[in-house]
A and B are shown apart, each in its own frame.
Chain A
Amino acid sequence: MIVTAVTSMGLFDEKGPVKYLPALYAMKSIAVDGESDGVTAIAITKENDAFIKHFNPENPNENPTNYDYAKPVVESAKVDDSYFADALFLGDSRTVGFSMYSGLKSTYYAKVALNINGALHTKFIEEGGETLTILEAVKKHPDYKKVYICFGLNELGWPNANKFINSYKYLIDQLREMMPYTTIYVQSLIPVSEAVSEKGQNGVTNARINLYNEMLLKMCEEKNTFYLDTAESFKTETGALVSGVSSDGIHLNKAASQKLAAYLETHTVDSDLAAADLTLFYGGTK
């Protein structure tokens, strides 16, 4: 492959973009410096500490921080509200409830009954006299620094769970293409109450939720996105939703939404790690 251009977006060959670079690195890239894996590596100025700290030019495909994406984000120091000012939340009715009660001032593209396919194709975001899909809206506003995604509840009854994951991966790919510098958090599915699970209406059972969460974690490992095990603080010993947090056993009330917000505030990745996360796309071929 012949690299024909190095831009702020990545490497391009004669057919177009082949490697995406994270913002911090790409903007600082100044020269071509050797080859690795058939692709020209980029030398980065020392101004970029995160890059210097984590990137190995001998092996640009290596996970620079050895961050284990197969594990959930661990507890971190509490961030203040400003952390969420440039965050975008995508999701279904649970995210709608969260938007109303969490107290986090962010942007929410969420809709009751929305599923992962709807996230790709349903037009519901009103803007300037237009009604847009999530992807169309993001295309207009690609400047969010963090995206929190929460889907799965309305897809539990799908006969093929892989279809859910494949659509989820597609959504992440599309977002990455429009927001290559944005940190993507994937939220686990919070369990439902014992009663709801026993009823199993529309496939909504905790066994199914556990399966989806396992698949989401695996997807995060594959896509280098950060998995948030939000379910952990809402589980009883038997894996059901704790009592007192929901009137219907599915949707979280105000107090629980605020508890979830507190979880997000204390489970963030630092900027170095987020930047390193993006370097993985330097190694990823489109």
Chain B
Amino acid sequence: MKNTRRIIAIVLAALALFALASCGKNAKTYSFDIEELASKLNSTGEFVDPLEKVDASVVSALYGFSDAKKVVVYAGSGATPEEIIVAEYENEDAAKKGLETMNARLADQKKTFDDYNKEYRPLLDKPIVKQLGKYAVYCVSSNYDKSLSELNSFVGD
């Protein structure tokens, strides 16, 4: 009986190790230039209000991604919630926090556009808010599918 238990324990441990190893093997490590991605999303995406790159010093003052290594933002004139934010962090844990900041921005924008330029409010129901390793990506465009496909093709997903 004792031996059976020991064998089961060894088998389970081996399975757990195998599972962990598999996970490690499948976890993708992303590495890309965030300037390039943001520019690509902007040039190939569809935006009612044309987006412009926001100056880095303004980004740090207005957007609050203070923990990020680098952030690139493209924003419109304020007429619509369309926007691109791509941030790079030191590691995945930091990027997770960046994602929280992006989700907070999304919630805030939803609140704003509930009462303002309501015709653009639906755009906020289909946003890209995604963590890719040490990167966090936020994109609200007029064509979610096109933006997502561009993102996936850029990062090789």
A residues with a Cβ closer than 8 A to B are 93-94, 96-97, 99-101, 103, 105, 108, 111-113, 126, 154, 246-248, 250-254
Q: Are B79 and A250 in contact (CB under 8 A)?
A: yes
A254 vs B75: C-alpha distance when bound (angstroms): 10
In contact, A108 and B49 (Cβ under 8 angstroms): no
**How far in angstroms is the closest Cβ of chain A from B73?**
8
| Complex contact B77–A251 (CB within 8 A) | yes
- Contact check, B79 vs A248: say whether CB atoms are below 8 A apart: yes
CB neighbours (8 Å) of A101 from chain B are 52, 54
Q: Is B112 an interface residue (CB 8 A)?
A: yes
Q: Please classify the interface of chain B as helix (H, G, I), strand (E, B), loop, or mixed, using the class held by over half of its residues.
A: loop
Partner of A247, one of B57, B79, B115: B79
B76 touching A247 by the CB < 8 A rule?
yes
**Contact status of A248 and B49, CB under 8 A, knowing A97-B77, A100-B54, A112-B112:** yes
- Report whether B55 and A103 are in contact in the complex, using a CB–CB cutoff of 8 Å: yes
26 contacts between A and B (CB under 8 A): A97-B77, A97-B78, A99-B58, A99-B62, A100-B52, A100-B54, A100-B58, A100-B62, A100-B75, A101-B52, A103-B55, A108-B62, A112-B116, A113-B115, A247-B50, A247-B76, A247-B77, A247-B79, A248-B48, A248-B49, A248-B77, A248-B80, A250-B79, A251-B76, A251-B78, A251-B79
Count A-B contacts at CB 8 Å: 53
Partner of B116, one of A113, A246, A247, A248: A113
B50 to chain A, nearest CB (A): 6
Give bound CA distance, A96 to B57, whole Å: 15
Residues of A close to B48: CB separation below 8 A: 247-248
Across the interface, A253 reaches (CB within 8 A) one of B52, B55, B58, namely B52
B116 to chain A, nearest CB (A): 4
In the complex, chain A residues whose CB is within 8 Å of the CB of B77: 97, 246-248, 251-253
State whether the Cβ of B64 lies closer than 8 Å to any Cβ in chain A. Answer: yes
- Once the chains are docked, how many angstroms separate the CA of A250 from the CA of B52? 17
* CB neighbours of A97 from chain B (8 A): 76-78
Residue of A nearest to B78 (CB): A93
Query: In residues 58-92 of chain B, which contact A (Cβ within 8 Å)?
Result: 58, 62, 64, 75-80
Q: How far is the CA of A251 from the CA of B50 in the complex (A)?
A: 11
Q: Which residue from chain A places its CB closest to the CB of B53 in the assembled complex?
A: A254
Known contacts A100-B58, A103-B55, A105-B57: does B50 contact A112 (CB below 8 Å)?
A: no
List chain A residues, Cβ under 8 A from B80. Answer: 248
Question: Do A94 and B76 contact each other (CB < 8 Å), given the known contacts A101-B52, A112-B116, A247-B49?
Answer: no
Judging by beta carbons under 8 Å apart, are B78 and A96 in contact?
A: yes
Bound Cα distance from A87 to B129, whole angstroms: 34
Residues of A within 8 A of B52 (CB): 100-101, 253-254
Residues on B with C-beta less than 8 A from A93 are 78-79, 116
Contacts of A252 in B (CB 8 A): 77
**B residues less than 8 Å from A250 (CB atoms):** 79
- Determine the distance from Cα of A252 to Cα of B58 in the docked complex, in whole angstroms: 17
Bound together, the chains give a CA A253 to CA B57 distance in angstroms of 19
Residue of B nearest to A251 (CB): B77
Q: How far is A196 from B127 in the complex, measured between Cα atoms in Å?
A: 28
- Which residues of the other chain, B, contact A108 by a CB distance below 8 angstroms? 62
